[in-house]
């Protein structure tokens, strides 16, 4: 039996009934989502507290999973990025960023792109440009962006910087979700993300600003108002990250990047805001809490 083509697989998934289970107005199976989030959060927090290198390992594992998810998603659109060179390169990029900084990150990304080209051309020229382009997209989003987290971790008070980055970004998700469920009436981008509302966005800004105003003085000895400004900047960038991934998924005809995290979907469904926010926070914290 021949394998269904991408368009056919998308149609089959669209016609399949959703799994039964309690859900909220925002469309999540809330108890399962909370449980999964607690487990993932506890694991990441434990690694961050234990040692910076342990968290680098977490980032590397996350990027390998993200590469796999992105490759699977793009294959629905007929784009087949080579997995092995991109995944190995993603790990190399994270390690290079942690050990040697921005120049090493860019150099590792360039080497990975060359390796991806050679790997794919060795398999034949037909469709090579298309597939290498898909690999380049994955190297940029999320791998190159995630390298900023590794660079942040390598700086003085790196663990606190990562903590601030994560909790402010999570505040955007929580604030947006709560305000959207309770008050959401005006859709922000109905064609991309029907459940995202302007009221939810306001909740994201308020939550991020409050968390930033509290976290920056307590962790990095910066003024509260700089933390509030940082939070207010994080909220729109995090929202854009959500919308970019929503646009990608809608274009590919998929609901989630995968189903490996119960109640959430794929890992990239949780990282979409984080990977876009991290360069902003890396730059901002170098101003707020210079070396």
Q: Over the chain, what is the mean pLDDT?
A: 90
Write down which residue in 112, 129, 154 finishes a domain. Answer: 154
Q: Are residues 200 and 77 in the same domain?
A: no
How many Cβ atoms from other residues are within 10 Å of residue 20's Cβ?
A: 7
pLDDT of residue 15: 42
| Dist CA 24 CA 32 (whole Å) | 12
Task: For residue 208, tell me if it sits in a domain.
Answer: yes
In percent, the amount of the chain with pLDDT more than 90 equals: 80
Rounded Cα distance between 39 and 274, Å, is 18
Residue 92 CA, chain-centre distance (Å), reads 18
Same domain, 126 and 183: no
Cα distance between residue 255 and residue 274, in whole Å: 19
Does 118 lie in the same domain as 207?
no
Quick check: helix, strand or coil at residue 32? helix
Same domain, 92 and 54: yes
Residue 32 lies in a domain: no
Task: Say if 280 falls within a structural domain.
Answer: yes
Is the domain of 178 the same as that of 236? yes
Predicted pLDDT of residue 264: 82
The pLDDT tens digits for 166-194 are 999 999 999 999 999 999 899 998 888 88
Closest alpha carbon to 221 in 169, 176, 156, 173: 156
Q: Are residues 87 and 168 in the same domain?
A: no
Q: Is residue 39 part of a domain?
A: no
For the stretch 191-243, pLDDT in tens is: 888 889 999 999 999 999 999 999 999 999 999 999 999 999 999 999 999 99
Give me the domain span that covers residue 182: 157-290
Whether 68 is covered by a domain: the verdict is yes
The residue out of 103, 119, 154 marking a domain boundary is: 154
Question: For strand 193-197 and strand 187-189, is the pairing parallel, antiparallel, or unpaired?
Answer: antiparallel
Q: Are 275 and 257 in contact (CB under 8 A)?
A: no
Domain end marker among 110, 128, 154: 154
Is residue 58 domain-resident? yes
Distance from C-alpha of 66 to C-alpha of 155, rounded to nearest angstrom: 25
Return d(Cα 284, Cα 157) in angstroms, integer: 14
In Å, the largest CA–CA distance within the chain is 65
Among 3-12, 33-42, 117-126, name the one with the lowest average pLDDT: 3-12
Partner residues linked to 193 by β-bridges? 189
Q: Are residues 137 and 165 in the same domain?
A: no
For 105-144, write each residue's pLDDT tens digit: 999 999 999 999 999 999 999 999 999 999 999 999 999 9
DSSP string, 175-213: HHHHHHHHH--SEEETTTEEEEEHHHHHHHHHHHHHHHH
Domain shared by 163 and 275, yes or no: yes
Considering the domain architecture, whether residues 187 and 248 belong to the same structural domain is answered as yes
Q: Is residue 30 part of a domain?
A: no
Helices (H) and strands (E) in the chain, counts: 11, 2
In a domain, 199, yes or no: yes
Q: How many domains does the chain have?
A: 2
DSSP state of 4: P
Q: Is 145 helix (H, G, I), strand (E, B) or coil?
A: helix
């Amino acid at each position: 039996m021949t394998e269904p083509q991408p368009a056919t697989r998308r149609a089959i998934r669209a016609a399949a009934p959703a799994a039964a289970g309690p859900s909220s107005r925002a469309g999540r199976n809330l108890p399962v989502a909370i449980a999964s989030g607690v487990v993932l959060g506890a694991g990441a927090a434990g690694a961050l507290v234990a040692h910076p290198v342990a968290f680098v390992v977490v980032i590397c594992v996350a990027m390998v999973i993200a590469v796999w998810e992105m490759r699977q998603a793009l294959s629905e659109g007929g784009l087949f990025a080579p997995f092995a060179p991109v995944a190995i390169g993603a790990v190399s990029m994270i390690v290079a960023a942690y050990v040697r900084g921005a120049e090493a990150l860019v150099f590792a990304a360039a080497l990975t792109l060359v390796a991806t080209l050679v790997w794919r051309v060795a398999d034949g020229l037909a469709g090579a440009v298309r597939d290498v382009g898909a690999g380049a997209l994955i190297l940029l989003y999320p791998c190159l962006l995630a390298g900023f987290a590794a660079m942040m971790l390598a700086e003085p008070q790196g663990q606190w910087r990562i903590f601030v980055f994560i909790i402010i970004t999570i505040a955007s998700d929580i604030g947006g979700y709560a305000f959207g469920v309770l008050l959401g009436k005006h859709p922000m981008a109905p064609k991309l993300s029907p459940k995202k509302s302007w009221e939810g966005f306001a909740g994201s800004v308020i939550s991020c600003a409050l968390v930033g105003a509290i976290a920056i003085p307590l962790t990095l000895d910066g003024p509260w108002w700089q933390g509030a400004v940082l939070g207010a900047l994080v909220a729109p960038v995090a929202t854009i990250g959500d919308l970019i991934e929503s646009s990608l998924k809608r274009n590919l005809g998929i609901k989630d990047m995968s189903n490996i995290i119960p109640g959430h979907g794929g890992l990239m469904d949780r990282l979409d805001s984080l990977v876009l926010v991290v360069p902003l926070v890396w730059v901002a914290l170098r101003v707020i809490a210079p070396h």
